[in-house]
Each structure stands twice: as structure tokens, then as C-alpha cells.
Amino acid sequence: MAVRDTDLIQAWINVLNLSKLKKGDAVTVLTSDHTHPQTLRCAVTAATMLGAIVSRLDLPPVNAEKSLSRDPLAYLGTTPLTGNLPAIAALKASDLILDLMTLLFSPEQHEILQAGGKILLAVEPPEVLLRLEPTREDYVRTQAAAALLKQAKQMRITSASGTDLYCPLGEYPCVSEYGFVDEPGRWDHWPSGFTFTWPNEGQSRGTIVLTKGDVLLPMKTYVGEPIVLTVENGFVSDIKGGVEADMLTEYIESFADPEAYAISHIGWGLQKRAYWSTLGLYDREATIGMDARAVSGNFLFSLGPNNEAGGSRTTACHIDVPMRSCDVYLDELQVVAKGKVIESTLVRQEAMS
């Protein structure tokens, strides 16, 4: 359903206030050919109303000859900023960057953040942004989950369908995404609402069984038949199943990079206003599937890079897999039961904070 400019402008004002935007701050809006015009219009209006000095940096798309999909997350690494020193300088001079293009998993992004800039990604359709407008409650909820994750030495994920995955933890940081950027050097994504980390390098092991209703991204499809992934020494060593397993394998193999099979980030969703069913209501090119990534109680794992966490793996292949009906344990503490967040664990952690 169409969104009124006034509503989206107010949502942007709320998010920019949560991001501590001040009068006189330099805001650069990063855009490309696929940027949604209403999102751009309302973002610029909101930032201007709050007294920011607003510029727009429009960059041409890249990777079309390499990617098998139009999804901006389907091929990572090379970005419109690669080798573009004037553009990088402009972004490093900004207090806040509103990324309406998708600059992710890139050295340029890390360079900008290390310089103290803040980056907020917002590329979902306007109605999704409006429904999943971040709140202080999202911050508190994800921070409580992150505090639990930071204390854990291992994560174990099981399910009635046969998933039994063991992931030792501690080498990499814990990250919470809550939808706004309230401190220098922070990156976040509107919409979001989940907590995750990366398992110790080369130590994940076990079995992942994808079943009906689980989601493959960037394919943006619901799994329709079992897909069994064997995990050894931190990598998927075998994929079995029917035609969907074959297509998943073909997609990964198209990158010709063994590191595409590595287990990347792992975590669980906490966003109560996100829904599993939303993906089926959109054309594939209209969304990047953030509902499925953030929906409360999912187990979300990915394959591919870990350079976002300070690792050395920079493969261009990145696959996110939100799973339903899993049990998630941090050491002996269960935080998700059959796809439902155990709310009492968050309440206890919030009380202790």
C-alpha cells in the first residue's frame, strides 16, 4: 500500500533523532540507479528539516556482468566506491551517510567507519520502512540479546527436522542491529532487529536441515523440500536433497571460490513487527527480504565473508538463510524454543543491565 510522504518524513525524522543528528551536521545521501525515489525525497526533506547540511552522491551500478541476480547483496566486494578516491573523501568528511544504494562488505565502508563516520542503510520499500521503523525498545531488546551472546562460549542449534549444529564462539565480536546509528563509527540497517556473531574460524560442525518455509536469500524463495548441509571444520562440505539443493549448489559454485562454503555470521531474530509471510507478497526485485532476516525467533546463518567482523574472508558470495522452528542454546541457556524467543531470558538480562 502506498505511503504518504508526511508519514515517511516523520519516520525519517524519528530515526535521525535516534541517530543523534545535530543541526549543522554534514549528511551525504548515497544513491544509485535503483534508489527508491520516495525514500530519497523523504530522507533529504527530514535531514534538511533537522538543520543538517545535505548532499547527494549518486554513483553508477557495478557487477552486472558478474552477478546472477539484480539483488544488491548477490555479489559483494567491488562497489561503486572501489578506486573512487573523490567519493571516498566526501563520505569520510560526512558526519552521517544515508546509504540508499547498498554499500556493504567492502573495504571502503570499513575505511569510512574507521574515520568516525556513521552509515545507515535503508533500501527496503517505503511501507516496510514505515512498519519496521526502529524504536528504543528495539535497541534495548537487541542489546539484551547481545549481552547474553557475549558471555557464551558456544552456540548450539537443533530442530525436530534434524538440525544439530555446534558453533564455538569467542574469536569474533557480537553485533546487534537495531535500525539506527547512535555513535561514531557505527553501521546499521533500517529495518532490522537481530543479534549475531561469527563462530570461531574452522570450528563449526554438525548438520543443518532446511525444511519447508525456511528462506534462501538472495534467492528470495521459501524452501519447499528438505536440503541437508553437512558442516565440517567451519565449512559446508556437502549439500544433499532434490532440485533445490542442486540449484543452491550451482549458485555457490558459480563464484568459483571455496570460501563461499564457509559458515559466516550466526544469530537469531528479535523483531516482533517482522513476518515470515512478507517475502511472498513482494516481487523479488522490490525487497531484499529484511522481514525474514529479522523476524523474532528465527535462526539466521549465512555463508561467505567474515571481513565485516575483522576476518580475512572476502568472497563475493553471501547467502543468508533464516530458519524457522529451531532451538538455539548459548552454552546451557536456551534463548529460542521451536522458533520462539524465550522472552524471560531477555527480561532477566535487561534487569541486570
Digit-coded pLDDT (tens) for 238-250: 999 999 999 999 9
- pLDDT at residue 207 in the model: 98
Domain at 84, CATH number: 3.40.50.2300
97 shares its domain with 167 = no
251 shares its domain with 324 = yes
120 shares its domain with 145 = no
Distance CA 292, CA 192 (A): 10
Residue spans of alpha helices (H) in the chain: 5-18, 37-49, 85-92, 107-114, 126-131, 136-151, 243-253, 290-294, 343-352
Higher-confidence residue of 172 and 67: namely 172
Average pLDDT, the chain: 94
| Alpha-carbon separation of residue 82 from 32, 89, 318 (angstroms) | 14, 12, 19
Q: How many domains does the chain have?
A: 2
- pLDDT at residue 273 in the model: 98
| pLDDT tens, residue by residue, 34-89 | 999 999 999 999 999 999 999 999 998 876 676 777 777 777 767 888 889 999 99
| pLDDT tens, residue by residue, 106-119 | 788 888 999 999 99
184 shares its domain with 271 = yes
123 shares its domain with 167 = no
| pLDDT tens, residue by residue, 210-235 | 999 999 999 999 999 999 999 999 99
- pLDDT at residue 353 in the model: 62
119 shares its domain with 176 = no
Please state the separation of Cα 162 from the chain's center in Å. Answer: 26
313 shares its domain with 204 = yes
- pLDDT at residue 109 in the model: 87
Range of the domain at 25: 5-131
Section 136-158 average pLDDT: 97
256 shares its domain with 206 = yes
264 shares its domain with 214 = yes
| Residue found by looking up cell 578516491 in the block | 85
Strand order in the sheet with 205-210: 235-241, 227-232, 205-210, 164-168, 154-159, 326-330, 333-337, 340-341
Section 285-308 average pLDDT: 94
100 shares its domain with 191 = no
Q: Can you count the helices (H) and strands (E) in the chain?
A: 9, 20
- pLDDT at residue 305 in the model: 87
Q: Which of 131, 146, 166 is the last residue of a domain?
A: 131
- pLDDT at residue 351 in the model: 61
* Phi and psi based region of residue 20 (left: phi greater than 0; alpha: psi -120 to 50; beta: remaining): left
Q: Which of 69, 99, 131 is the last residue of a domain?
A: 131
Three cell numbers written together for 19:
541517530
Given a cut of 80, is residue 348 above it in pLDDT?
no
Q: Which of 84, 115, 131 is the last residue of a domain?
A: 131
333 shares its domain with 309 = yes
Residue 209's beta-bridge partner residues?
A: 228
Three cell numbers written together for 53:
547540511
DSSP class of residue 261 equals: G
